[in-house]
Amino acid sequence: MQSNPKSTAVERIPVFDVRLEDEHVEAVAETLRSGWLTLGPRTKAFEEEFAEHLGVPHAVALSSCTAALHLAYLAAGVGPGDEVVVPGITFVATAAAVRYCGGTPVLAEIIGPDDLSLDPADVEARLTPRTKAVCAVHYAGYAAPLSALRELCDQRGLALIEDAAHSPDATVPGGDEALGTIGLAGAFSFFSNKILSCGEGGLLATRDERVAEVARSLRSHAMTSGTWDRHRGHAMGYDVVGVGYNYRMDEPRAALLSARLPGLAADVAERRRLTHLYREALADVPGVTVPYSDDQVDASSCYIMPAMLDDPARRDPLRSVLAEGHGIQTTVLYPSINEFSAYAGTPGAGSLPRCERAARCQLTLPLYPHLGEERLDRVVRALRDGLGA
Ligand SMILES: Cc1ncc(COP(=O)(O)O)c(C=O)c1O
């Protein structure tokens, strides 16, 4: 048989990848044919399914996790002059949503290179009489130290908000309470590269009925009835009782999420298995440290595969070798928030050495449920090659 020269090309390995099954596509197609496209019965059904999945009474589907953070902060009473403590290592939305409320994000330290969660002792040091809330991010799907943060918040009368963008199927190690259900509200993301994705989407989960009502009202302009209610003849008109937003989810996205939710646990189980394989393979690579422990992996949703380089100067050249020499995409989660020009003057920005070092050492390796062991081996071999190990 003649060899095809094209077949020798190296397959590119992306840092994340989405694979939809025919039944997922069919659920969206059926919704498109149904004649009702925005917030309606499919969104309500998805909210009920996700609430049950988390074990909370209230789930409010929204247009994004950023919207969920905004509404969570508003429900916690954050307004002009108030401060919210957030980690320096997170996606900018955690801090930006505080600014939407007219409040000030206060940046705090992470625990360190082995655990990139918010450090409760550092949070305590940054509280002021203006602090209204603390936002814990479950970085990469690994639980932030919630019991210490909750105790601190309870003692000071502060709201604890969970940024659960990375953790739709994770718990505290050794516990069975879902991440995103422990604070006043949890904000989830269904953005394209997330574990349970639909393109753009988010959700606010809460055990607090008042918080759920605030979110339901503000997601749709604080109107007393929605278009779906009027369409069904359940209402003839509406009042507007506040200044709300258009943060609604639409029906095709909700249908896609409902179709994908039953597969979430299996996806996360495979992410955990691959994470364990990566950890084993990277254990003896000199100059690379993998954060978190095996026990933490077993409770995590394993959104990304984080590795830390001991020498930050090697990180970017290594990324280039992986990309150019091996066709392997990597990324950095995250730059420290204070390194963005719009956040340079944020309180706390001048004293985040742990965040700044983590931002320079962090390397995110490819991880998705269908990555498979062969590609994983290729990534590890390429990493060794790039490090001369
Ligand atoms: C930690 C964190 N918080 C919030 C968000 C915002 O999510 P969304 O894109 O759904 O608004 C993201 C998304 O990347 C994130 O990673």
Sequence-ordered list of residues with C-beta below 8 angstroms from that of 278, at least 6 positions apart, any chain: 290, 305, 365, 367, 376, 379, 380
DSSP for residue 169: T
What are the CB-based long-range contacts (under 8 Å, 24+) for 238-242?
241/217, 242/217, 242/218
pLDDT of 206: 98
The model's pTM: 0.96
Our answer on whether the CB atom of 165 is closer than 6 Å to any ligand 1 atom is: yes
pLDDT in tens, 266-310: 999 999 999 999 999 999 999 999 999 999 999 999 999 999 999
Q: Kindly report the protein residue whose alpha carbon is nearest to atom 9 of ligand 1.
A: 191
Our answer on whether the CB atom of 278 is closer than 6 Å to any ligand 1 atom is: no
Q: Kindly report the protein residue whose alpha carbon is nearest to atom 8 of ligand 1.
A: 65
pLDDT of 8: 59
Looking at the CA of residue 163, tell me the nearest atom of ligand 1. 3
Ligand 1 centroid to residue 81 C-alpha, Å:
24
- Which of the residues in the chain have pLDDT under 70? 1-8
Sequence-ordered list of residues with C-beta below 8 angstroms from that of 376, at least 6 positions apart, any chain: 274, 277, 278, 281, 366
- Cβ 53 vs Cβ 188: under 8 Å: no
Which of 60, 62, 66, 249 for a ligand 1 pocket mutation test, highest count of atoms within 8 Å of Cβ? 66
3-state helix, strand, coil in the chain (%, to 5): 45, 15, 40
pLDDT of 3: 43
pLDDT of 228: 87
pLDDT of 17: 97
Locate 113 and state its tokens: 């290179």
Ligand 1 centroid to residue 119 C-alpha, Å:
20
3-state class (DSSP) for residue 137? strand
Ligand 1 centroid to residue 98 C-alpha, Å:
14
pLDDT in tens, 2-48: 444 444 578 999 999 999 999 999 999 999 999 999 999 999 999 99
